[in-house]
Structure 1
Amino acid sequence: MGKTEIIVTIILFNLFFILFIVGIIAFIKQYKVKKNEHEVNLLNKEREHQRELLATQLEIQTQTMQYIGREIHDNIGQKLTLASLYTQQLAYENKAPQVNESIENISTIINDSLSELRQLSKSLTDDSIEKSTIRELLEKECQKVHELRKCNVLFVCNTTINSASYQTKSIVLRITQEFIQNSIKHAKCDTITVTLERNESKYVLVLLDDGKGFNIHETKSNGIGLLNMKKRAEMIGGKYYLESNPTIGTKLTIEIPL
């Protein structure tokens, strides 16, 4: 074998070796790409499953509450009304003043219970989340808490938002309620601001208080309430950003895709 043939053989061997290495690298890269795609698909399927599960849970919860509300109104409410009429009739027919006083007290207790049950029945059968926009729900919640005079609650929304689903409205409302309750109970704040915005691709909910705040990294598991809010946001594909400082208060931002 001549010198030229040896050189050609070495070059061809090196070329094949390089191609072999390149093939292995390409295979590994392709494997990683497919693996990442598979993991993304699994994650998307899990999120879709969580959304479907949430929708089912909300539907069952709503139906259950409406059923209980109707039972309270139609069954227990009617029986208490009848008991109230009986006590009134008994008081009318009875001639002993000391007994009448006891009967009137019983009647008062029954009527108070009946009134409370009617309010409970109304709240359980209330479909305000279905009928109201997300803006109306948050505005009403802020006004209700503000009227309790525990702190100032401001609502800011400079756009009309009508397209949110029942699941989105329900979860955004629950997150807002949770944040407000935590701020009043733990932060000892003077003012809570609830801001709702919308752009081309997402809703942005910003919850802010001027309370004492806390160190996020030192809070055990970030607190049950905070974890609940984060889990709720993730159920509707939202992103959760929490900022807090012991001197400037707490800010929670929830971004929810349209």
Structure 2
Amino acid sequence: MVQQGTEALLLAILGLFSLCVVMVFLFVIFQKKKNVLLMHQTEAARQYEKEIIESQVEIREQTLRNISWELHDNIGQLLTLAKIQLQSVKENPHHITDVNDNLTTIINEVRSLSKSINPDYISKINLSEAVQIEIDRFNKLNYIKASLTTKGDIFQLDKKAEIIIFRILQEFFSNTIKHSKATELAVEMEYVKNKLYIKAIDNGRGFEVNNAGNNGIGLTNMKKRGALINAEVAINSEIDTGTSLIIALTNTR
């Protein structure tokens, strides 16, 4: 009996020891997986912040290019016209009214331009307003016939998400103007409850979406940036028909 009791005790101790070993083993595996998950989360957060910074830098660079275009294509032409008008005032004094009107236009254009490069002004406007400014600029400079339609009740998005979406749209707009030879660009923003749907369509020459060579014009960047904010980004195109960009985002603010 004593021997049987001793054997039972040894078996119990062995079983308990084995259980402890298994628990330690499982704990080690759990910790490793937890560490890997935390590492991935940290890396994802780092990549997200890096992308935000890069997008902000690119938006600033695009803004500077916009200023350059406006100075050359818009204000420069208005100043040239004002110079011509001033030269004709001596012979035709009534032209002074035209000069005055033109100078008023130039002043308003400069004020508008100064607003667009003011960080405080930019930070206070929402995504829809920022897109409208881009659309207005395209029309004013006669780059393309552009329009923006906004549906639903506009809600505020997370500012970082707005930066990403605005940069995606800027890339699409840039491709449309530089590469597509489009004459029309239509943008629709629809706010439905906590979701935002954006569709941008041009009537350009189109391209083959699955052609690997087309990744060089920003298509990969658009989708990668969309993934950072859990936005669905789809790009469709048909040769000689046009290209469309569709963005769907759930507001988590």
TM-score of the aligned structures, taking structure 1 as reference length? 0.54
- Return 5+ residue gaps in structure 1 as ranges: 93-113
Tell me: CA distance 1:126–1:174, structure 2 relative to 1, closer, same or farther (3 Å).
farther
- Matched with 1:179 is 172
- Matched with 1:194 is 188
More off after superposition, 139-148 vs 20-29: 139-148
Alignment check: 8 A CA contact 2:131 2:166 kept: yes
Alpha-carbon distance in 2 for matches of 1:230, 1:119: 38
Q: Give the one of 199, 207, 215 matched to 2:209.
A: 215
- Matched with 2:131 is 138
Alpha-carbon distance in 2 for matches of 1:254, 1:56: 24
- Matched with 2:20 is 19
Deviation at 1:44, TM superposition (A): 1.9
Tell me: CA distance 1:170–1:60, structure 2 relative to 1, closer, same or farther (3 Å).
same
- Matched with 1:226 is 219
Tell me: CA distance 1:234–1:10, structure 2 relative to 1, closer, same or farther (3 Å).
closer
Tell me: CA distance 1:203–1:143, structure 2 relative to 1, closer, same or farther (3 Å).
same
Alignment check: 8 A CA contact 2:197 2:249 kept: yes
Q: How many residues matched? A: 223
- Matched with 1:28 is 29
Within-5 A mapping of 1:81-230: 124-127=113-116, 129=122, 132-139=125-132, 141-142=134-135, 155-161=148-154, 163=156, 172-183=165-176, 185-186=179-180, 192-197=186-191, 199-200=193-194, 203-208=196-201, 212=206, 214-216=208-210, 218-220=211-213, 222-230=215-223
Alpha-carbon distance in 1 for matches of 2:174, 2:214: 19
User: Counterpart amino acid of 1:125?
Assistant: S
Q: Does 1:242 align with 2:243?
A: no
TM-score of the aligned structures, taking structure 2 as reference length? 0.55
- Matched with 1:100 is none
Deviation at 1:178, TM superposition (A): 3.1
Alignment check: 8 A CA contact 2:147 2:187 kept: yes
Deviation at 1:188, TM superposition (A): 6.3
Percent identity, please.
19
User: Counterpart amino acid of 1:214?
Assistant: E
User: Counterpart amino acid of 1:244?
Assistant: N
Q: Does 1:253 align with 2:247?
A: yes
Deviation at 1:33, TM superposition (A): 1.5
Alpha-carbon distance in 2 for matches of 1:36, 1:173: 30
Alpha-carbon distance in 1 for matches of 2:231, 2:226: 7
Report Cα offsets for 1:141-189 as digits up to 9, x if no partner. 45665796967x5644223436457766565444334324535744969
User: Counterpart amino acid of 2:208?
Assistant: F
Alpha-carbon distance in 2 for matches of 1:49, 1:256: 22
User: Counterpart amino acid of 1:206?
Assistant: K
Alpha-carbon distance in 1 for matches of 2:188, 2:113: 26
- Matched with 1:106 is none
Alpha-carbon distance in 2 for matches of 1:52, 1:181: 20
User: Counterpart amino acid of 2:188?
Assistant: V
Tell me: CA distance 1:13–1:28, structure 2 relative to 1, closer, same or farther (3 Å).
same
Alpha-carbon distance in 1 for matches of 2:61, 2:186: 33
